[in-house]
Amino acid sequence: MTVSGRCSAGALAFIVGALQYVTLEAVAAAAWIEPRYDHAANYISDLGVPDAQIYGGRDVYSPLAWVMNTGFVLEGVFFVLGAVLLAVLFRGVSRWLFVGFAVLHGVGIVLVGLFNEAADAGPLHLIGALLAIVFGNLTALVAGVAAVRAGLPRWFSVASVVLPVVGLLSEGVLLAGLSDVRFDGLWERGGVYSVTVWQLLIGVAVLATLRAARASSPDRGRPVTHARRRT
């Protein structure tokens, strides 16, 4: 596979991972009847609990828990695949951090999907959630710092720094207990959706950069970074 082919596939992996995640979350949330799923108060993880119960003070029952848990696992697979394919864009320490953090995110979100929060193995779910949120955001941050040098747009670099900072701060508010319980779900989503939005952005940024490089250069086999450095 050519470098441009790897980059295209990696970009699509990130986009597909993000889209399937939010789609399956919406499907699982819509299946809640009694009580209705509350996006402000309920955690995303609540959607993966198949048995009706009171958990963490919340009335939890997800009829389509398997749908959400599938979304968690697929997110991990697509995220790691995208990072491995796009690693060619980065050099040195940035490359290793990008892939390493992505793998930790992937392992974490797969644990979230395999062990629901209310199960006997709930601690594994918690560990997985922390890994997924922290290292998903750190993956974005590494990409943002190295983006311009990799030949990606400056707007993407800025967004890739702002999004994880906001996401980690949002999660910090939740973990520090500074949130009203009625809005815990919103604060949690701040730390999760920052990663989801970033996945869409890196996919779009890479595909747009590849298209521009191909349009401006007769050598269509050159990677994004090399195409910019040699012109």
| Partners of 60 in the β-ladder | 53
**Closest alpha carbon to 217 in 208, 203, 206, 230:** 230
How high is the pLDDT of residue 52? 80
Question: Which residue type is seen at 229?
Answer: R
Domain that holds residue 106: 3-229
The share of the chain scoring above pLDDT 70, in percent, equals 94
CA atoms within 13 A on the CB side of 11: 20
Q: Are 14 and 96 in contact (CB under 8 A)?
A: no
Whether the Cβ atoms of residue 116 and residue 65 lie closer than 8 Å to each other: yes
What are the tens digits of pLDDT across the range 164-217?
999 999 999 998 888 888 899 999 999 999 999 999 999 999 999 999 888 887
Selection from 31, 10, 134, 137 nearest residue 79 by Cα: 10
The pLDDT score that the predictor gives to residue 229 is: 42
Contact status, residue 217 vs residue 206, Cβ threshold 8 Å = no
Q: Helix, strand or coil for residue 202?
A: helix
pLDDT tops 70 at residue 220: no
Q: How many domains does the chain have?
A: 1
Instruction: Using pLDDT thresholds of 50, 70 and 90, give the confidence band for residue 224.
Output: low
What's the pLDDT band for 98 if we cut at 50, 70, 90? very high
pLDDT digits (tens, 9 = 90+) for 107-138: 999 999 999 998 888 899 999 999 999 999 99
Find the helix packing angle between 184-216 and 65-86, rounded to 10°. Answer: 40
* Of the candidates 211, 204, 212, the residue with the CA atom closest to the CA atom of residue 159: 204
Burial degree of 72 (CB within 10 A; 0-12, 13-18, 19+): buried
Band of the pLDDT at 161, cuts 50, 70, 90? very high
What the block records as the tokens of 157 is 């670099």
Q: Give the Cα separation of 94 and 142 in Å (integer).
A: 7
| Range 23-27 contact pairs with CB under 8 angstroms and sequence separation of 24 or more | 23/71, 24/67, 24/68, 24/70, 24/71, 24/74, 25/68, 25/71, 27/64, 27/67
pLDDT digits (tens, 9 = 90+) for 199-209: 999 999 999 99
Write out pLDDT tens, residues 38-79: 999 999 999 999 988 888 888 899 999 999 999 999 999 999
Residues 6+ apart with CB under 8 A from 93: none
59: β partners: 54
Is 189 within 8 Å of 148 (Cβ atoms)? no
Q: Which amino acid is at 224?
A: V
CA dihedral of residues 49, 63, 34, 187 (deg, nearest 10): 40
